[in-house]
Structure 1
Amino acid sequence: MITGEIKSQVDKVWNTFWSGGISNPLEVIEQITYLLFLKRLDERHTLEEKRSNMLGQPIQNPVFPEGLDPQGRSYTDLRWSRFKDFEQGEMFTVFNQSVFPFLRNELPKLANGEDSTYSHHMKDAQFKIPNAGVLKQVVDIVDGINMDGRDTKGDLYEYMLSKLASAGTNGQFRTPRHIIDLMVAMVDPKPPEAICDPASGTCGFLVQAGEHLRAQNENLLTNAESSKFFHHGQFHGFDFDNTMLRIGSMNMLLHGVENPDISYRDSLADLHAEEEEKYHVILANPPFAGSLDYDNVAKDLLSVVKTKKTELLFLALFIKLLKPGGRAAVIVPDGVLFGSTGAHKSLRKMLVEDHKLDAVVKLPSGVFKPYAGVSTAILFFTKTNSGGTDNVWFYDVKSDGFSLDDKRTPLGTSDLADVLTRWNQRTTAELERARTDQSFCVPLSEIAANDYDLSLNRYKEIEYEEIDHAAPEEILVALDGLEDEIARGMAELRGLLK
C-alpha cells in the first residue's frame, strides 16, 4: 500500500504534465513509464556491477554498453543516476537525442531476458514531453519517490492507472481492482498453469493473478523450475493497442514479473491455430464494440459461432484457447445472458451442454462508473468438450463496496467477501438455498427448458411483503382534515397581516 506522501508526489507529476499541455491520461502514464523504465534499467545495471565486483569478473549482462552512442555521447550519461543531475537544458537534449532513441531502437537489440518484453514494444514509442522545464520537474519528483520494494512500485503504478477515468476506444474501460481480485480468487490459478488475457489492456488481470500466486504459494519463487515458469511462461496477454502493450508490460515488470508474453494481436481477427487449447486459465474483460464485419473476423471463430457481435466472438475465442479442463472468468454485458438471436442462444447452449457452466455472478450496473454505466455479469465456466453442467450457481451482487454513482464513494459494506465464501459452497450448502435468497442454484434441466436463458431474474423469486392500506374512504376523510387544517392556518396568517 502506497502512502499519502507518494500519492501526492504522483499527483504533482500529473499536474506538471497537465500544466505542460499533456492532458490525455494514457499519454501521461506512457511518458512517466519511460522514466520509470530508465530508472529500472539503471538499478539492474547497478546490480550487475555489484555482482561483477564481488566475483572479480567482467559484467555479464550490461544494460548500458561501454563506449559512445550514435550521437557521440557516452552511454554512462544515459544512466538514471547520472542523467537525473543534469541541468534541465542538457537533460532535455540528452533524453531527446540519446536516451529515448536508446530505449526505442538500441535496447530491443541489446535486451536479453527480463526486459525484452517491454523493450520490444518501445519501437513505436513517441517522446511527447513538451519542454525542458516539464522534464526536469518530473525527473526530480520521480527520483524522490522511494520505490525500493516491489509492492511499492506496483502499487504506485496501479495508482497512476486508477487515473484512467474515461472509456477508451472500441469499448475499452479499466476493470476495477476489487472486481479483478474477486475473479482471480474464485478461479484460483495454480503455479503450473498458463494464464491468458486475450484483451489485456493494462494487464490488471495478469498482475493480480501473479500476486495471488505469490500469496498462495510461499515457495513459488524459491523453486527454480516454478520461478522460471512464473517469469517466462506463465502470463500471456494480447492487445492491438501499442500504447497499452507498453503500459501493460511495465505494469507486469513493476509487479515483479520479469518477462511475460505481452504480444500484439488482434484477438478477433487473427487465426488461432498456434494458440488453440494452450491455456489453463483465462481471465478477461474484453471490449464490447458492437458488431464487426465478417471479413474482419477470424474464420476459425466463425466456425464456432456465426455472428458479428464482439461479445459472442470473444466467448467463442475463450473456448477455443482453453485446454480441456481449463477455467475461465470473464465479464460479459447482460445481453449475452438473455439475447434472443440464434447466435446468442447457440453459444449459451454450447456453454451449458458442451462444457461446464459453473456460475453467473450478476454485477450492479454502476460497477464500471465513471467509465461506463453498462450492466454486466461474470461468467465462470470450465472447458470439457463433454458437458458436465449439473447446476448453475447464481449470485446477485447488490453492493461491491462503493456507491453506484460517478463518484464511487467507498461504503461500509460489500457483498464480495460473501460471493467468494458461497462460491466455495456451491456444490454443498448452496444447493439448499431458496430462490428468494441472494444466491441459489438452478439445475440444467430448468435452464434448458428456458431456452438457455441465463439472466438471474428469470430464476429469482421475489417475496412481496403484504401491506395493509387504509380504505379509500378513510384516506379521503384524512385529506379533508388536512385541508381544513391548512385553511385554518392560512386564515391565522391573514389575520396577523392586518
Structure 2
Amino acid sequence: MTTTTDIVAKLWSLCNVLRDDGVTYNEYVTELTYLLFLKMLEETGRESRLPDGYRWGILAKRAGMEQLDYYKAMLLELGKAKDGLVAAIFTDAQTRLRKPTNLKALTSNIDQLDWFSAREEGLGNLYEGLLEKNASDKKSGAGQYFTPRPLIDCIVRLMQPQPGEVVQDPAAGTAGFLVAADRYIKDHTDDLYKLNEGQAFFQRHNAFTGGELVPDTHRLCMMNLLLHGIEGGVDNIDTLSPDGEALAKADLVLTNPPFGTKKGGGRPTRSDFSVTADTSNKQLAFVEHIVRALKPGGRAAVVLPDNVLFEDNTGRRLRTWMMDLCDLHTILRLPTGIFYAQGVKTNVLFFQRGKADSGNTKAVWVYDMRANMPVFGKTRPLTVAAFAEFEAAYGDDPMGRAKREEQGEEGRWRKFTREAIAARNDSLDIAWLRDTETEAEEGLTEPEDIAAAIIGHLKAALEEIEALSEEIEPDSVDEAAALAEAAE
C-alpha cells in the first residue's frame, strides 16, 4: 500500500511544523484525528452526520485568526452533535494549536493528499498506519496503547472470530484487536456480503464492544472503528468500576489490559468482584473481569505480564479460581522487546469458560517463544513469520483441542497436567529451556533497543517489589508497627 505509506509519512512529518507550538506527539495525533475525521467525511460523502454550518470545506478555505476561531467553535459544536459517534470523538475536544499559520499548514497539506488512492486502499488502513507510526516512535510513549499488529493478527487467526459473536476488549486502546477481528470476519464473508441484512447490521452495530479509560485514546479508538465500518461499541469507561459490569457478555474476549497498579493504590469498585476486590494490581483485576464477562463456552486470549503467572496470595487465588472455572489450555511466553513502553516480559493466555464451575483445566500447554530467541525491536522488527511455528503447534481449533505433539525438554512446546501445576503452588511461570537473553541483548546495536532492554530489567524488578508488597498482610503490618513502637 504505497500510497497509504506515503500519506502516513507526510502526515507524520507535519508534526515538525507544530513543535514550535508546544504540541506533543500524542496531542498531534489527536489533533490530526479531528481534522482527518472532517476531511474523511467529506471524501466519503457522509457530512450529513455533522451539524449544519460545520464542514471541512468551510474550515479549509478560511485563513488566519478567522480560521482558528472557527475551528475552536467547530470543536465545541461537534462535541454537542446529535450523532453519537461524532459526539464521542469530539466530547471535550480542544485544539492545542495557538498559531493560525500552523492550522493553515495542516488543512492545506491534508487537502493536497492523494485522497482518491487513499480511498481505494482503505481510509482505515491509512489511520491505522498513523497510529502505528505514533506507537513505534519512542518519543511519543504511545506503545502502551498499541499492541503490535503481527501479535494481534496471530491471536485473531487462532481465535477465529465468527459472524454473530460478541467480541469484547475491556481495555480497547486504539481498537487494534476489534478492528483485526472485524477484518478476519469480513475476509471470510466476502466483506459481509455472504450475510443476510440482519446479520450484517449486527456486525456493524452490535458485534464489537468494550471500554477505554483514557479520553484521548478513546477518541482514536472511535475514529479507528468508524473508518473500518464499525459504529461505536467501545465506551469511555473504567472497566474496573461498576460501568464494567454493564458490558455485554462475550463469546470472545481479546485484550491487552494495562500493566501496573491503579493510581493512588485504588482497588476495583466492582460489586461482582470477589477474588481481586482487595488488590490494586490492574492485570489481576482485569483477569477476573474477563472470566466473568465470558459466556459459558466463550473463549479468550489475553496478553499478561509474567507477574500474573507467579504472584502469590491474590495472584495464586486468582489462578486457582480461573483454572477451576475455565479451561486454561495454552500459554505463549512472548519474546522480549515487543512492548517498548512497558519493557516487561509478557505472555498470552488462551482459555475457554467452562459450562460447569469447577475442574475445567485438565492440562496446560506452554510454548516458550522467549528462551534462545532474539530480542525484537528497531534492529529486528517483529513479523508475522515469527509466530508461524507456534501457530502450527497450537493447531486449527480455537478452543485448543486440536491434536498436539509434545516436543520434550529440548523443544519449545510442552504439556503440564493440572496436578503438576498444583504441585507448583499453582504457579504458571513455567520455563525449562536455558534462557540466553543476556547473550541476545549483547547483539543489540540501536540505542532505543538497548534502552528498552534496560527498562525491561528495571520494570521486572519493580513488578517483583510490587508483588512482594501485595503479599504483606494487614496483621503483619500491625505487628511490625507494634514492634517498632516498642523499640522506641
TM-score w.r.t. the length of structure 1 is: 0.77
CA distance in 1, matches of 2:373, 2:188: 24
Alignment-derived partner of residue 241 in structure 2: 269
Shift of the 399–413 alpha-carbon distance from structure 1 to 2, 3 Å rule, reads: farther
Alignment-derived partner of residue 98 in structure 2: 130
Q: Deviations over 1:406-432 (max 9, x none)?
A: x35337894312222211166455244
CA distance in 2, matches of 1:294, 1:301: 20
CA distance in 2, matches of 1:5, 1:402: 30
Alignment-derived partner of residue 287 in structure 2: 315
CA distance in 2, matches of 1:402, 1:143: 43
Match of 1:279 among 250, 260, 283: 250
Alignment-derived partner of residue 5 in structure 1: 6
Q: Residue 180 in 1 paired to residue 152 in 2? A: yes
- Indicate conservation of the 8 Å contact 1:338/1:454, yes or no: yes
Alignment-derived partner of residue 32 in structure 2: 32
Q: Deviations over 1:366-398 (max 9, x none)?
A: 1112x1210111111111134432321211114
CA distance in 2, matches of 1:338, 1:289: 15
- Indicate conservation of the 8 Å contact 1:400/1:416, yes or no: no
Shift of the 197–14 alpha-carbon distance from structure 1 to 2, 3 Å rule, reads: same
CA distance in 1, matches of 2:373, 2:2: 21
Alignment-derived partner of residue 100 in structure 1: 75
Q: Residue 447 in 1 paired to residue 421 in 2? A: yes
- Indicate conservation of the 8 Å contact 2:143/2:339, yes or no: no
Letter in 1 for 2:61: D
Matched residue SS, 1:209: helix
User: What are the residue-to-residue correspondences of 1:52-451 with 2, within 5 Å?
Assistant: 63-65=50-52, 75=53, 78-97=54-73, 99-105=74-80, 107=81, 109=82, 111=83, 116-147=84-115, 148-149=118-119, 151-162=121-132, 163-164=134-135, 165=137, 172-218=144-190, 220-221=192-193, 223-257=196-230, 259-270=231-242, 272-275=244-247, 278-290=249-261, 296-308=267-279, 309-339=281-311, 341-369=312-340, 371-384=341-354, 385-398=357-370, 403-405=375-377, 407-410=378-381, 414-424=385-395, 427=401, 429-451=403-425
Shift of 1:261: 1.3
Shift of the 197–391 alpha-carbon distance from structure 1 to 2, 3 Å rule, reads: same
Q: Deviations over 1:70-94 (max 9, x none)?
A: xxxxx2xx32234323344443232
Shift of the 429–462 alpha-carbon distance from structure 1 to 2, 3 Å rule, reads: farther
More displaced stretch, 327-336 vs 150-159: 150-159
Letter in 1 for 2:177: F
Letter in 1 for 2:254: L
Shift of 1:210: 1.2
- Indicate conservation of the 8 Å contact 2:363/2:416, yes or no: yes
Shift of 1:27: 0.8
- Indicate conservation of the 8 Å contact 1:436/1:463, yes or no: no
Shift of 1:302: 3.8
Larger-Rg structure: 1
- Indicate conservation of the 8 Å contact 1:14/1:28, yes or no: yes
Alignment-derived partner of residue 441 in structure 2: none
Q: 5+ unaligned residues in a row in structure 1: which ranges?
A: 49-60, 66-74, 465-498
Matched residue SS, 1:124: coil
Shift of the 401–90 alpha-carbon distance from structure 1 to 2, 3 Å rule, reads: farther
Shift of the 450–319 alpha-carbon distance from structure 1 to 2, 3 Å rule, reads: same
Matched residues, number: 424
Letter in 1 for 2:381: P
CA distance in 2, matches of 1:230, 1:151: 22
CA distance in 1, matches of 2:264, 2:373: 39
TM-score w.r.t. the length of structure 2 is: 0.79
CA distance in 2, matches of 1:401, 1:8: 31
Q: Deviations over 1:156-179 (max 9, x none)?
A: 222221213459999944211111
Matched residue SS, 2:61: coil
- Indicate conservation of the 8 Å contact 1:35/1:139, yes or no: yes
Shift of 1:280: 1.0
Letter in 2 for 1:125: A
Identity of aligned residues (%): 29
Structure number with higher relative contact order (C-alpha < 8 Å, ≥ 6 residues apart): 2
Matched residue SS, 2:404: helix
CA distance in 1, matches of 2:139, 2:108: 31
More displaced stretch, 396-405 vs 341-350: 396-405
Shift of the 402–31 alpha-carbon distance from structure 1 to 2, 3 Å rule, reads: farther
- Indicate conservation of the 8 Å contact 2:78/2:86, yes or no: no
Shift of 1:295: 6.3
Shift of the 301–169 alpha-carbon distance from structure 1 to 2, 3 Å rule, reads: farther
Matched residue SS, 2:114: coil
Q: Deviations over 1:160-217 (max 9, x none)?
A: 2121345999994421111111122221111111111111121111111111111122
Matched residue SS, 1:130: coil
Alignment-derived partner of residue 444 in structure 2: none
Shift of the 124–83 alpha-carbon distance from structure 1 to 2, 3 Å rule, reads: closer
- Indicate conservation of the 8 Å contact 1:357/1:380, yes or no: yes
Alignment-derived partner of residue 14 in structure 1: 15
Shift of the 427–323 alpha-carbon distance from structure 1 to 2, 3 Å rule, reads: closer
Shift of 1:37: 1.4
CA distance in 2, matches of 1:400, 1:408: 17
Letter in 2 for 1:330: V
Matched residue SS, 1:300: coil
Shift of 1:149: 2.4
RMSD value over aligned CA atoms? Answer: 3.1
Shift of the 157–81 alpha-carbon distance from structure 1 to 2, 3 Å rule, reads: same
CA distance in 1, matches of 2:384, 2:202: 38
CA distance in 1, matches of 2:345, 2:232: 32
Shift of the 320–289 alpha-carbon distance from structure 1 to 2, 3 Å rule, reads: same
